[in-house]
Amino acid sequence: MTELIWDGKYKDGKKQAPVQIALPFQTIETVNESAADREKRLNSLFNTAQQATQWRNRLIWGDKKYVLPSLMPEFAGKINLIYIDPPFNVGSDFSFTATIAENPDTPQDEQATFTKQPSIIEQKAYRDTWGKGLDSYLQWFYETAVLLRELLADNGSIYVHLDWHVGHYAKAILDEVFGYDNFMNEIVWYYTNKIPDTRKKKFTNSSDFILLYSKSEGKQIFYPQFDKRENPIKVSKMKKVDGKKVYIKDEEGKGLYDVRYERTADNVWQFALLHAQPEIVGYPTQKPEALLERIIKASSNEGDLVLDCFCGSGTTAAVSEKLNRRWITCDLGRFSIHTARKRFLGIADVKPFVVQNLGKYERQQWQQAEFNTPPAGADLLAGADLQSVPQFKNADLTRHCGLDPAGADLQSVPKTALQKRLEQEKSYKNFICDLYHANSLNNYTYIHGTKAGRMIHVGSVDAPVTVEDIKNAIIEFWNIAGKKQNPNLTRHCGLDPQSPENKAVPVAGADLQSVPNTAAANLHAVPQTNGIDFLGWDFAFDVNETAAQFAASNRVDVKFKKIPREVLEKKAVEQGDIKFYELAALEIKTKTDKNKLSISLENFIIPPDDIPDEVRTSITHWSQWIDYWAVDWNYRDDTFHNEWQSYRTKQNPKIELKTTNTYEQKGAYTVLVKVIDILGNDTTKAIQINVE
């Protein structure tokens, strides 16, 4: 068989197969699930059989090179239809046009747009695809095709949407991966409304093509499709007589006819490009729903599972939803996920779906690879004297080692493994401090560095920064600063003020030997201002309120900054493209009247670090920052459940700033409010209420 070869396909005589590391998915939001179904789900957390019957469609934010292998354990050989519309133009990127809504307090039409440039992660994905030109694209496409074939069911089909740029190369790769005999069709999508351009001295390109392959020839699902005829035709009626077809005639001997208003569709499909249709959501690569409707109807049944790993605006999943198919879709672009979520919510009677990512599991994999971290748990249990490791209480020690301090036998952790784990934890935190341009401190539990007179706390890769972390860091902050410890401070933190480790350690004029493992070189740690920067991958919902108030009452200025996902990418780190952005602040007003709760958004403050100048000058009212917000009326410490939402669309750019809910039962409730801004970033706030 003829084979297409490119630089990077083979190494040491062997084909380079895709890396397949299956990571667990992390559900970050459940949308449109009823309270009754939520209760059932909570009750079935330990009932695997019951959970398996509770299907939820999936919108996944992540890179397909991690997402597709992570789907394998559950979905290998089970997906009935795959449609992909991969990037096929070397000039394509992840930028998008966002809209700034009007100021609600002024009569003028102040709506504006701006282009949001791709994030470092998105730029990295672009470099992986096109960084070495066509060679890197072909290797990327080959690895994707291999994974998709493994996911496809025996009766499944895959439609690969391409154009003239790379389609001829992709055909050779698909022949190799799926087999030449499984090539079914080259479908030509002819745009009926493309405006001709003769300036380039060539014929106008007015078509894409879609390659159709089956997993197993002859087993694939297929139903003929039909096009409307511009001019209906008459077709003579016929019947079989003695094995031969003869014309049917009436009593007068005249032939009888059927009028045909449709024709069986062939491999040339005529659908108009999207220009001003109502289905447009403002995403640059959006495809017509009619195109996907034909594909889904032709190659799947109701209830079948459809996958699109290039979600874009969500057309495949949206049409699958309307045609009663199950669906999984993913994309690396934050704006894509946000656009698709709003689109799905606009579908009448949309079935519940979840928003997922690989979150902490992807970070754990990165940490293990980057710092050679051994697995936590049983492999650490052997036997050692923990007292030989200074500066750590037992509970702190196990937390740093990834163990449960309540369930671990603290005396059974081997010294060598423990010391290695602590060194690796230290390396990780030093790495983050270095990216933040801070000086590392290695002798404290909660303070990990200093920068410009401020202390630095680095959050774990697999847990959010909590209020307790912040309180403990403030205790340690004052110890380092040599201030007189306030007993009320430690009591308020839930600590024993008489405990030796919670008493202040004066630095100035002290015997340095009284501070374990502290050397004179660390004296620069004493802050010039009372401030701490908390760097975290995630933050507990209440840090911006509870923790910030506590810090202010104890004269400590705190800032909460997100560790960006770009940290996971070596290229971004090497190029110095890492920026830490401060969390946005959301002000909410609540009012309870018996069993009725009213919520109104009062202010939304975004720190200016990540804001393009043209955006900042165009916004004159805080609500213009908000593109979408949702409420979980009864957060149960599971995942955020979207039980009410308001969002902007092209057809309706206004957004509600107030909402109400009536509770059926009295009691204490935690209400979660999530806001997504026009840049696609989300901010979540927790509210405690009592219903009487």
Q: For residue 463, what are the contacts with CB-CB under 8 A and spacing of at least 6?
A: 360, 538
Structure confidence at residue 372 (pLDDT): 72
**Domain of residue 169, CATH code:** 3.40.50.150
Q: What one-letter code names the amino acid at 199? A: R
Residue 4 maps to a domain: no
Contact 483, 507 (CB under 8 A): no
Task: Identify the bridge partners of residue 630 per DSSP, sorted by sequence position.
Answer: 645, 674
pLDDT in the model for residue 500:
44
Q: Considering its fold, how many domains does the chain have in total? A: 4
Q: What is the pLDDT of residues 157-187, one digit of tens each?
A: 999 999 888 889 999 999 999 999 999 999 9
Q: Is residue 570 assigned to a domain?
A: yes
Residues 147 and 254 in one domain: no
**How far apart, in Å, do the first and last CA atoms of the chain sit?**
76
- Is 287 domain-assigned? yes
b/e string for 50-66 if b means 16 or more Cβ within 10 A? eeeeeebbbbbbbbbbb
pLDDT at residue 289, as a whole number: 96
Contact 658, 600 (CB under 8 A): yes
How many residues appear in the chain?
692
Where helices occur in 131-206 by DSSP H, the ranges are 134-151, 167-178
Using the 3D structure, point to which of 536, 555, 581 is the last residue of a domain.
581
Nearest to residue 421, comparing CAs of 398, 448, 394?
Answer: 398
Q: What is the pLDDT of residue 517?
A: 36
Predicted pLDDT at 109: 62
Q: Quick one: 219 and 240 in the same domain? A: no
418 within 8 A of 382, measured Cβ to Cβ: no
**Same structural domain for residues 22 and 72?**
yes
Domain end (from 581, 607, 637): 581
Mean pLDDT, consecutive 10-residue segments, the chain of 692 residues? 89 89 92 83 60 82 92 97 82 61 72 62 57 82 96 98 89 96 96 82 89 96 94 90 88 89 94 83 86 98 97 96 98 88 94 93 85 50 38 43 48 63 86 94 91 93 90 88 51 46 36 33 48 92 79 89 86 80 90 94 82 75 92 91 92 92 94 90 90 89
What span, in angstroms and rounded, lies between the C-alpha atoms of 497 and 500? 8
Instruction: Give the per-residue pLDDT at 97.
Output: 65
Domain membership flag for residue 392 = no
* Domain assignment present for 95: no
Spatial separation of the C-alpha atoms in residues 309 and 74, rounded to whole Å: 16
Residue 558 and residue 425 share a domain: yes
328 and 429 together in one domain: no
pLDDT at 414: 57
Would you say residue 257 lies in a domain? yes
Q: If we measure between CA atoms, which residue out of 127, 225, 212, 218 comes closest to residue 171? A: 212
Same domain, yes or no: 305 and 198: yes
What is the pLDDT at residue 232? 92
Q: How far apart are CA 625 and CA 438, in angstroms?
A: 31
Are both 504 and 631 inside the same structural domain? no
Q: Are 344 and 400 in contact (CB under 8 A)?
A: no
Same domain, 601 and 511: no
Query: What was the pLDDT predicted at 553?
Result: 85
pLDDT tens by residue, 263-291: 999 999 999 888 778 888 877 788 999 99
Same domain flag for 290 and 430: no
205 and 57, same domain (yes or no): yes
Assess if residue 448 is contained within a domain: yes
Q: Is 234 part of any domain?
A: yes
Final residue before a domain boundary, out of 243, 262, 281? 262
Angle of helix 134-151 relative to helix 167-178, nearest 10 degrees?
A: 40
Q: Which phi-psi region, left, alpha or beta, contains residue 650 (left: φ > 0; alpha: ψ -120 to 50)?
A: alpha
475 and 611 assigned to the same domain: no
Give the residue carrying structure tokens 């299956």.
22
3-state SS string for 491-532: HHCCCCCCCHHHCCCCCCCCCHHHCCCCCHHHHHHCCCCCEE
Contacts of 67 (CB under 8 A, 6+ apart): 60, 309, 330, 358
Domain range spanning residue 639? 584-691
Identify whether residues 204 and 192 lie together within a single domain. Answer: yes
